[in-house]
């Protein structure tokens, strides 16, 4: 436990320096333990575990680009992302760990108590047991606070889901050397640092927003904070009923025409294996690279694996507006290429803006730019209520970073929005999260970032968006 945030950072820096991690690039065709399977070119581990990289053929997407092929990560098994919670002097604390993932821009970030694929915890790789796992595997002794199967980046994963769990315990819990107890308030502060709280922690915490300190809004008070506080209240007056929102979501699923099928990675159109990497021929999206990892304190001390490396930084943003004093977020029913049920609730804007540069440079062109990206990029500094750069999962993605923003729309913004969009309160989103399979991972991350806004968030950096993306 830390007396202040500075002492956390001192501890975290020590943990970061305590291990001699090394990540080096290796050509995909010389990746130890991974070999292209039987002429298909698919990348598989010799154990049959972990994940594989395969080809995906997409048609009838209904997006600006209707059909394409791409590499995709197939990882059908569910892992566990679990956070252990315990009260000390009546204050709940989360057990988080300083964990190295090879794709992290800074290698070490704050992870959940347990972050383990099934291959990890059944020890396909023959490594060390996963600490604290018994708190999350039945029969459990603790109290379940939240437990749902949730999707992950559907642009890069096919039907990948992890079990997101929060378990409260009263037992004595030994604290291993890379682990620490943090209050929700402390985590709220840390969420405002770039690249510190990892994606897995953020998605699990989206199931815990109801545990955060309740903030009361004085009646009639006209600030952003008051509108946000009201938006979390049970029974907050909402623009749409839950029945209407569920119908809007069903409509999007029923109208979705997306077709997808796995194809051999070797032959996919628009991508080439060159210099030991698989890259998009026009320089868009991402590149599949290979790395060799040395990590003395992980379950196994060295391994090799492929990683997906985005070509540019992402933008993940909710537009917000106040409806009768209650903050509402503009949610998108998004066709998610790899999602099990094909459509999920997503932030207003979620893309890599660089992909939409002028066509002559290999970009998709301005005509394909997603709706509302212009509004986000043109946002005045005063309307940006939240703004940090966060990392996506470093176990599969290399330096995958996105700018996460909450932008308050000005009064001129239309109340009526296109059919694939709907205004929702924080409370409504919080309820959908509990059921799993509703919000995508980017929306859950943003919900956590907003759900744990610290007291002094108004001092958050306010920079013109276009300058940073």
CA atoms of 194 and 197, how far apart (whole Å): 8
Is 311:303 a contact under the CB 8 Å cutoff? no
Nearest to 76 by CA among 28, 44, 102: 44
10-33 b/e (C-beta count within 10 Å ≥ 16 → b): eebeebbeebebebeebebeebee
Residue 143 CB, nearest approach to its own copies (Å): 9
What's the CA gap between 40 and 30, in Å, rounded? 17
- The answer to whether 404 and 387 have CB atoms below 8 angstroms apart is yes
As a whole number of Å, the end-to-end CA separation of the chain is 36
Q: Which is closer to its own copies, CB of 255 or CB of 270?
A: 255
Cβ 34 to its own copies, closest distance in Å?
Answer: 23
State the minimum distance, in angstroms, from the CB of residue 176 to its own copies. 25
CB of 256 to its own copies, least distance (A): 9
190 or 443, CB closer to its own copies?
443
Of residues 437, 453, 295, the one with CA closest to residue 385: 453
Work out how close the CB of 159 gets to its own copies at its nearest, in angstroms, rounded to a whole number. 10
Stretch 352-381 residues interacting with its own copies (CB under 8 A): none
- Any idea what DSSP says for residue 129? P
> 47 vs 247, which CB is nearer to its own copies?
247
Residue spans of beta strands (DSSP E) within 19-142? 22-26, 34-36, 43-45, 52-59, 68-74, 79-88, 91-100, 108-111, 114-116
Q: Which of 10, 419, 461, 466 binds its own copies (CB under 8 A)?
A: 419
For residues 24 and 247, which CB has a smaller minimum distance to its own copies in the complex?
247
Compute the least distance from the CB of residue 262 to its own copies, in Å. Answer: 12
Is the preceding omega at residue 139 within 30 degrees of 0, hence cis? yes
- List the x/- string, 196-235, binding to its own copies by CB under 8 A: ----------------------------------------
Check residue 147 for interaction with its own copies (CB under 8 A): yes
Dihedrals phi, psi of 245, to nearest 5 degrees:
-70, -40
Please give the Cα distance from 271 to 268 (Å, whole number): 6
| Distance of closest approach, residue 378 Cβ to its own copies, in angstroms | 31
Q: Considering the complex, state which of residue 137 and residue 300 has its C-beta at the smaller distance from its own copies.
A: 137
CB of 410 to its own copies, least distance (A): 28
Question: In this complex, which beta carbon is closest to its own copies, that of residue 56 or of residue 351?
Answer: 56
- The site map against its own copies for 284-323 (x = CB under 8 A) is ----------------------------------------
Which residues between 40 and 79 bind its own copies (CB under 8 A)? 78
Rounded to the nearest whole angstrom, what is the least distance from the CB of residue 133 to its own copies in the complex? 13
Supply the DSSP string of 35-54, one letter for each residue: EE-TTT--EEETTS-S-EEE
Question: Is residue 145 close enough to count as binding its own copies by CB under 8 A?
Answer: yes
Question: Got the DSSP string for 214-280?
Answer: P----TT--SHHHHHHHHHSTT---SS-HHHHHHHHHHHHHH---EEEEE-GGG-TTEEEETTEEEE
Looking at residues 71 to 130 of the shown chain, list those that interact with its own copies (rule: CB under 8 A). 78, 80
Site string for its own copies, 239-258 (x = CB under 8 A): ---xxx-xx--xx-xx----
Q: Which two tokens stand for residue 212?
A: 């955060």
The pattern of x and - marking residues 427 through 466 that bind its own copies according to CB under 8 A reads: -------xxxx-----------------------------
DSSP string, 334-351: EE-TT-TTSEEEE-SEEE
DSSP state letter for 128: P
**The Cα angle at residue 218 between residues 217 and 220, in degrees rounded to 5:** 110
> Is the Cβ of residue 65 or residue 149 nearer to its own copies in the bound state?
149
Tokens of 132: 């604290």
Query: Is 429:327 a contact under the CB 8 Å cutoff?
Result: no
Number of residues that bind its own copies (CB under 8 A): 27
Nearer to its own copies, 47 or 434 (CB): 434
Q: Which is nearer to its own copies, 24 or 434 (CB)?
A: 434
Does 341 engage in binding with its own copies (CB under 8 A)?
Answer: yes
Of the listed pieces 143-151, 212-220, 298-306, 458-466, which binds its own copies according to CB under 8 A?
143-151
Please say which residue, 258 or 460, places its beta carbon nearer to its own copies. 258
Residues that bind its own copies (CB under 8 A): 78, 80, 138, 144-149, 163, 165, 242-244, 246-247, 250-251, 253-254, 340-341, 419, 434-437
């Amino acid at each position: 436990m830390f007396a202040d945030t500075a002492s956390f950072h001192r501890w975290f820096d020590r943990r970061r320096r305590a291990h001699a991690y090394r990540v080096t690039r290796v050509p995909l065709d010389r990746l130890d333990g991974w070999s292209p399977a039987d002429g298909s070119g698919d990348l598989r581990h010799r154990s049959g575990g972990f994940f594989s990289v395969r080809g995906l053929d997409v048609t009838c997407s209904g997006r600006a680009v209707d059909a394409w092929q791409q590499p995709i990560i197939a990882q059908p098994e569910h892992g566990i992302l679990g956070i252990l919670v315990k009260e000390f002097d009546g204050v709940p604390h989360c057990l988080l760990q300083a964990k190295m993932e090879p794709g992290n821009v800074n290698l070490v970030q704050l992870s959940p108590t347990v972050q383990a694929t099934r291959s990890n915890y059944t020890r396909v790789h023959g490594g060390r047991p996963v600490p604290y796992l018994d708190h999350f595997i039945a029969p459990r002794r603790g109290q379940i606070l939240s437990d749902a199967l949730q999707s992950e980046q559907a642009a890069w994963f096919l039907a990948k889901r992890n079990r997101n769990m929060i378990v409260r315990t009263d037992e004595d819990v030994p604290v291993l050397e890379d682990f620490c107890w943090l209050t929700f308030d402390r985590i709220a502060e840390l969420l405002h640092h770039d690249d510190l709280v990892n994606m897995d922690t953020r998605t699990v915490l989206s199931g815990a927003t109801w545990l955060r300190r309740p903030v009361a809004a004085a009646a009639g008070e006209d600030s952003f904070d008051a509108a946000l506080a009201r938006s979390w209240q049970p029974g907050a007056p909402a623009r749409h009923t839950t029945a209407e929102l569920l119908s809007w979501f069903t409509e999007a699923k029923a109208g979705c025409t997306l077709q997808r099928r796995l194809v051999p990675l070797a032959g996919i159109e628009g991508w080439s294996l060159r210099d030991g990497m698989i890259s998009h021929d026009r320089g868009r999206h991402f590149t599949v690279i290979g790395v060799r990892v040395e990590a003395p304190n992980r379950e196994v001390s060295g391994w090799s694996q492929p990683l997906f490396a985005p070509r540019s930084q992402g933008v993940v943003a909710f537009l917000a507006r106040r409806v009768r004093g209650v903050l509402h977020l503009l949610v998108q029913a998004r066709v998610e290429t790899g999602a099990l049920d094909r459509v999920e609730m997503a932030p207003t804007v979620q893309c890599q803006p660089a992909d939409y540069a002028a066509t002559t440079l290999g970009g998709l062109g301005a005509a394909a730019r997603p709706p509302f990206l212009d509004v986000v990029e043109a946002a005045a500094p005063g309307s940006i209520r939240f703004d940090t750069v966060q990392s996506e999962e470093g176990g599969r993605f290399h330096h995958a970073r996105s700018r996460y923003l909450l932008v308050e729309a000005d009064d001129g913004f239309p109340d009526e929005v296109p059919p694939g969009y709907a205004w929702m309160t924080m409370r409504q989103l919080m309820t959908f999260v509990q059921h799993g399979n509703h919000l995508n991972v980017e929306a859950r991350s943003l919900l956590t970032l907003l759900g744990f806004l610290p007291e002094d968030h108004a001092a958050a950096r306010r920079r013109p968006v276009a300058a940073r993306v």
